[in-house]
Amino acid sequence: MWERENEYYSGILMNPFHFSTRRLVSQIYCGLKPASSKKQRICFEMARPSSNMVDFREVFAKAKHIAIITGAGVSAESGVPTFRGAGGYWRKWQAQELATPEAFARNPSRVWEFYHYRRELMMSKHPNPAHISIAECETRLSKQGRSVVVITQNIDELHRKAGTKHLLEIHGSLFKTRCTSCGNVTENYKSPICPALAGKGAPGPEAKDAGIPVEDLPRCEDCSGLLRPHVVWFGETLDSDILTAVEKELEICDLCLVVGTSSLVYPAAMFAPQVSARGVPVAEFNMQSTPATDKFSFHFAGPCGTTLPPALARHETEIIS
């Protein structure tokens, strides 16, 4: 089972954890079915989800701890390529062929060209109404003693650009680096990230590798070790501290939104069904139904930038001080 950056890309093979969500994930990887208590069976066999926005708004108005899980569909509306399907190539490679420790070990120059291209592209992209409505909702509800947490599979930092503060990036960030020698993680917004990558990274199939010498690639300021993007690649595990934080948020939330995600990629695909299994309302905002749709209380079809703002707007019962 694989995970992907921006829901499409970073591969993760999970290890078993003692937390409930991770137990489910480890069972999936082992080819086992999740334990099915009577309560879970009842929740998973609920009626088809509602698309009644008035009913959702009533649930939203009462929620104290809201968890919002976001995927590639949110960023796609900002013009971020998904690297999925037949057109999902950079030069002649699919992203999955470049996003591995083995690919980086074989050809760090090629991998860094790919990430340089993506970093430069993202510097020209901006949050869309979905990102902005989430950030504004967080700010507004915090003044009422209510909380909003965003758990994102995306690595583009558009939530951060929009103003989201309580953010858990489970796949890392395009704008962080990690030293392969000392392990130091730092934010890095340089453009280009190093002089040797200036003008490199053209995506077309006719483009050739620059063949940048490894000593000219991004280097650590502390130990001069080779830097790599601080994202989770295929074959790597998610950060256990971030997973612990995610688990805590999912355990206390009383409303969960799933926004712009296919619900096909693990472990994130299990987060919302696990919340639903304990009887918490879950609302899905996506272009189409997903394999998890029937497990949820609500489903709103359409572009997230259109459906989400009215869902998260100030409710008439809210008291603003």
Binding region for NAD(+) = 71-90, 153-156, 260-262, 286-288, 304
Query: What does the DSSP assignment read for 216-278?
Result: GS-B-TTT-PBEEEEEPPTTBPPPHHHHHHHHHHHHH-SEEEEES--S-STTHHHHHHHHHHT
User: What residues are designated binding site for Zn(2+)?
Assistant: 179, 182, 220, 223
Would residue 171 show up in a list of annotated catalytic residues for this protein? yes
By residue count, the chain amounts to 321
Distances (CA, A) of 113 to 119, 192, 213: 10, 11, 12
| H-type alpha helices, 30-142 | 38-44, 53-62, 72-76, 95-98, 101-106, 108-122, 129-142
User: What residues are designated binding site for substrate?
Assistant: 115, 118
- From 65, 116, 159, 171, the catalytic residue: 171
Residue 38 neighbours by CB distance under 10 Å: 7
Classify residue 53 as exposed, middle or buried by CB count within 10 Å of its CB (0-12, 13-18, 19+).
middle
Q: Which residues are catalytic?
A: 171
